[in-house]
Structure 1
Amino acid sequence: MSREPDRVAERYARRQVGDRYSMLRPEVWQTVHERQRAMLTLFARHGVRELPALRLLEVGCGQGGNLLELLRLGFRPEHLSGIELLPDRVAEARRCLPAALALHEGDALQAPIAEASQDLVFVATVFSSLLDDAFQQRLAEAMWRWVKPGGAVLWYDFTVDNPRNPDVRGVPLARVRALFPQGRIDRLRVTLAPPIARAVAPLHPALYTLFNTLPALRTHVLAWIAKP
């Protein structure tokens, strides 16, 4: 059995992020709103019209922020679920999410998720924290099994390495294709490089949009990985 989940917990335990992801920071809310718009664009492209009818599972749901966003977009709580490795994050998510929304604590590979039970499996900045290639592949295979035929994996992660953080690594599009070889990938490049966003957005929020017009400065991919 892989020790990667234990290693991930150890890596997160030593992170000191402070208020880096607070919605009070202009670069954070701009990043979140940009990703929401891009996600809605992908939904429209792929014929999604009735969000309340869809079943969606988030792998690595953290404190529940993404699931709260999805509730606001119109997903029903009883059709949403999340898996999170870290107990303190699960506890925080449980405090802020409706009771009808199911949360699973622990290693995602051990989660009791039925095959072909989900219209969408959402994963955001999770694979960049997994440094074991074999574990990445097993998790991708599990996620693919959970998706119904005609459904999709909804992917968001960064593509380039962060030289200041050896606990993460970028996941380029070629790796995404290798992880989901049977998937049909429709992707958008999004998210102004965080170091640039942190430098310019506090000066004026419009600078985020200005710099983000340059595709070379976008560091993340939002992808719809369709299952035939």
Structure 2
Amino acid sequence: MSPVPPPSSEPQAVAARYARRDAAQDAQRYSLYASASALQAQQERLRALRRLWLAHGWHSLAGLAMTEVGCGSGGNLHDLIRLGADPAQLQGLELLPERAAQARERLPAAVRITPGDALQAPIAPGSQQAVLAFTLFSSVLDTAFRTALAQRMWQWVAPGGGVLVYDFTVGNPRNPDVQGVPLREVQRLFPGAQIASRRLTLAPPLARRLPPALLAPAAAVLPAVLPVVRTHRLSWVVKPSSSPLSSS
């Protein structure tokens, strides 16, 4: 494994940003039960993820080693289990101790939860078929640290595997704690990768104002008329293998 980068203040800054965000936001806004728009976004994201991985040639997640960086309370890892991933092959890395504790409480015991800075995580190079980063890079504002984190994640990926990046594409002028991650930034972070990417997620401020019955039709129709209303991007960033990969 390559040498561990020198200590950085960015992990502490990220933790402070999340603390400010948690204090300012209503948790119900992201509840799949309480918020129809959050549920719509999650279901759309899972369908897109499934399509990307099926096109990649993965007809089952059984036996695939996967790690999520910034796993929060474990919702995405739980989704992977429901899609057929083996709990013993899953790992979550989480910077915030309270969120890591929630993930440990909610997920099967076989899932490994590792608290702390992801750059220090003891993951062997080439050991993971997929590394997930869901709304992660948008909270990492230091360019050097963001680049180092992407490089470390790339080291963990086995040839033929990839990094799954889901993040919003533009910044929020009312929130200086986040920064948009457009496709060109994903390309910069993972040079030489094969990238399949698509726009997703009806703009949350708009989606939250729509009646639940209109959410699915609006998510299907509005982007065709006004593409900018899809504010996020799901990218499957593939590490080339010695043999040609199927197109995704």
- The answer to whether TM tops 0.5 is yes
Q: CA deviation at 1:202?
A: 4.5
Structure 2: 5+ residue stretches without partners = 1-6, 241-248
Give me the whole-angstrom Cα distance separating, in 1, the residues matched to 2:214 and 2:186.
34
Match of 1:211 among 195, 204, 222: 222
Residue 100 of structure 2 is aligned to residue 94 of structure 1: no
- Residue 233 of structure 2 corresponds to 221
Residue 30 of structure 2 is aligned to residue 21 of structure 1: yes
Structure 1: 5+ residue stretches without partners = none
- Opposite residue 9 of structure 2, the aligned amino acid is R
Give me the whole-angstrom Cα distance separating, in 2, the residues matched to 1:204 and 1:49.
32
Q: What are the within-5 Å matches in structure 2 for residues 89-168 of structure 1?
A: 89-168=99-178
Q: CA deviation at 1:208?
A: 3.9
1:71-107 per-position Cα deviation (integer Å, ceiling 9, x unaligned): 0000000011010000000010011101100011000
- Residue 187 of structure 2 corresponds to 177
1:26-53 per-position Cα deviation (integer Å, ceiling 9, x unaligned): 1100000000000011011111112112
Q: CA deviation at 1:209?
A: 3.6
Give me the whole-angstrom Cα distance separating, in 1, the residues matched to 2:20 and 2:165.
26
Q: CA deviation at 1:201?
A: 4.2
Retained in 1: the 8 A contact 2:201–2:219?
no
Q: Identical aligned pairs, as a percentage? A: 53
Residue 24 of structure 2 is aligned to residue 12 of structure 1: no
Q: CA deviation at 1:14?
A: 1.6
Match of 2:95 among 85, 107, 116: 85
- Residue 31 of structure 1 corresponds to 41
Give me the whole-angstrom Cα distance separating, in 1, the residues matched to 2:35 and 2:91.
28
- Residue 4 of structure 2 corresponds to none
Give me the whole-angstrom Cα distance separating, in 1, the residues matched to 2:136 and 2:70.
6
- Normalised TM-score (structure 2): 0.89
Give me the whole-angstrom Cα distance separating, in 2, the residues matched to 1:48 and 1:208.
27
Give the secondary structure class of the aligned counterpart of 2:208: helix
- Residue 43 of structure 1 corresponds to 53
Match of 1:63 among 50, 59, 73: 73
Give the secondary structure class of the aligned counterpart of 2:16: helix
Retained in 2: the 8 A contact 1:116–1:149?
yes
Retained in 1: the 8 A contact 2:95–2:118?
yes
1:110-144 per-position Cα deviation (integer Å, ceiling 9, x unaligned): 01111110000011000000010000000000000
- Normalised TM-score (structure 1): 0.96
Q: CA deviation at 1:163?
A: 1.2
Retained in 2: the 8 A contact 1:59–1:121?
yes
Give the secondary structure class of the aligned counterpart of 2:25: coil
* Equivalences, count: 228
Give me the whole-angstrom Cα distance separating, in 1, the residues matched to 2:206 and 2:129.
35
- Opposite residue 12 of structure 1, the aligned amino acid is Y
Give me the whole-angstrom Cα distance separating, in 2, the residues matched to 1:215 and 1:45.
24
- Opposite residue 77 of structure 1, the aligned amino acid is P
Give me the whole-angstrom Cα distance separating, in 2, the residues matched to 1:145 and 1:207.
40
